[in-house]
């Protein structure tokens, strides 16, 4: 049956003529929102930054990619790879250091592109110019954490930047023709359905090239985890998430590529929601919900 949304993996396969998989790499960058005494990072941030599990951290960038390739070829018969600089803020270092790591990734056989995850406040003009250079050389995505378009939520999450900061970074990237994938989270503490849909509308207004829709995960060892254990906020039930994700998809621009529709928390660190571990069931349920409604991506897009 036809997918009711624009699936990035299918699009990638068509563009490259074969299976393309992302391999997460950790180049050892840090994050301006962590570390200092009064800078404790986002409340959901785990020990290794947000996301990024299963990376062979003892190896350098090229070694991590070679290791990841072996796994991807064995498991998925992948043909080509995109090096995904995922944990922490992968544009927060001197330009020459960034260049050294990006070049190391592109030097690995069958790596056909880069995906660079970072924070909006780590994309100034100099970084945007550097990324534009790589955009001309390879297939590049800039992945920007937005989470929400509401400043009150961003303060609650202790993001350390506001929504205007995202808009500035986004504009700098788009002026240079970069592909941008925005990350948003459904189920953030204090957010209503209306708040979530407002963020979706913003992503539609901006007509982002790609989007990752994350389900809020609560990890052990995070401040969010402590808040959860104290009962300070309520997590979404599975059906609530499925309905909200379908609502968000309906609001997005039909051209936006959907790169992710749920979350992938590490089993051993995941406090809740445990139902999120059944990822395929969630994906099928979201697709089923859209079919049941007779709607699809962009059905309720306002732009
Ligand atoms: S921006 Fe990312 S790495 Fe930095 S504190 Fe937040 S979640 Fe952690």
Residue 303 lies in a domain: no
Q: CA 285, 297, 183 angle in degrees (round to 5)? A: 80
Residue 54's pLDDT band (cuts 50, 70, 90): low
pLDDT digits (tens, 9 = 90+) for 192-238: 999 999 999 999 999 999 999 999 999 999 999 999 999 999 999 99
Give the mutation target among 30, 85, 89, 91 for probing the ligand 1 site: most ligand atoms within 8 A of CB.
Answer: 89
| pLDDT of the residue at 67 | 95
Contact 55, 117 (CB under 8 A): no
Give the mutation target among 32, 34, 165 for probing the ligand 1 site: most ligand atoms within 8 A of CB.
Answer: 34
**Is any atom of ligand 1 closer than 6 Å to the C-beta of 50?**
yes
Residue 52's pLDDT band (cuts 50, 70, 90): low
Kindly report the protein residue whose alpha carbon is nearest to atom 6 of ligand 1. 42
What is the distance in A from the centroid of ligand 1 to the CA of 228? 19
Domain span holding position 205: 8-293
What is the distance in A from the centroid of ligand 1 to the CA of 41? 6
Closest CA to 61 of 85, 33, 78: 85
Ligand 1 atom closest to Cα of residue 46:
8
Residue 301 lies in a domain: no
Contact 277, 263 (CB under 8 A): no
Residue 300 lies in a domain: no
Residue 254's pLDDT band (cuts 50, 70, 90): very high
Kindly report the protein residue whose alpha carbon is nearest to atom 5 of ligand 1. 41
Contact 183, 144 (CB under 8 A): yes
| pLDDT of the residue at 38 | 56
Residue 298 lies in a domain: no
HEC-encoded secondary structure of 74-135: HHHCCCEEEEEECCCCCCCCCHHHHHHHHHHHHCCCCEEEEEEEECHHHCCHHHHHHHHHHH
CATH number of domain containing 279: 3.20.20.70
Closest CA to 157 of 90, 83, 87, 233: 233
What is the distance in A from the centroid of ligand 1 to the CA of 31? 6
What integer is the mean pLDDT of 170-189? Answer: 98
Per-position b or e across 28-42, b if 16+ CB within 10 A of its CB: ebebbbeeeeeeebb
Residue 117 lies in a domain: yes
What is the distance in A from the centroid of ligand 1 to the CA of 90? 11
| pLDDT of the residue at 296 | 98
Residue 299 lies in a domain: no
Residue 1 lies in a domain: no
**Is any atom of ligand 1 closer than 6 Å to the C-beta of 33?**
yes
- For the chain, how many structural domains are there in total? 1
**Is any atom of ligand 1 closer than 6 Å to the C-beta of 45?**
yes
């Amino acid at each position: 049956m036809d997918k009711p949304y624009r699936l990035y993996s299918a699009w990638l396969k068509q563009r490259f003529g074969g299976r393309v998989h992302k391999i997460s790499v950790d180049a050892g960058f840090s994050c301006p929102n962590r570390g200092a005494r009064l800078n404790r990072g986002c409340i959901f941030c785990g020990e290794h930054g947000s996301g990024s599990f299963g990376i062979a951290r003892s190896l350098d960038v090229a070694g991590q990619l070679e290791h990841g390739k072996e796994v991807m070829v064995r498991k998925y018969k992948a043909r080509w790879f995109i090096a995904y600089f995922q944990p922490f803020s992968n544009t927060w270092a001197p330009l020459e250091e960034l260049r050294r790591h990006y070049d190391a990734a592109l030097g690995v056989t069958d790596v056909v592109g880069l995906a660079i995850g970072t924070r909006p406040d780590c994309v100034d003009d100099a970084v945007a110019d550097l990324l534009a250079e790589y955009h001309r050389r390879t297939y590049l995505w800039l992945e920007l954490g937005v989470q929400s378009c509401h400043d009150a939520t961003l303060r609650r999450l202790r993001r350390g930047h506001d929504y205007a900061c995202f808009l500035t970074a986004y504009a700098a990237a788009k002026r240079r023709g970069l592909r941008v994938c925005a990350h948003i989270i459904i189920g953030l503490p204090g957010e209503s359905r209306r708040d979530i849909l407002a963020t979706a509308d913003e992503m539609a207004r901006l007509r982002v090239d790609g989007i990752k829709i994350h389900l809020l995960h609560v990890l052990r060892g995070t401040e969010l985890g402590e808040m959860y254990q104290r009962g300070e906020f309520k997590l979404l039930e599975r059906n609530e998430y499925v309905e909200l994700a379908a609502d968000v998809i309906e609001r997005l621009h039909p051209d936006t590529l959907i790169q992710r529709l749920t979350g992938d928390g590490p089993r051993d660190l995941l406090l809740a929601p445990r139902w999120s571990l059944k990822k395929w069931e969630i994906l099928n349920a979201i697709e089923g919900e859209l079919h049941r409604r007779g709607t699809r991506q962009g059905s309720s897009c306002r732009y």
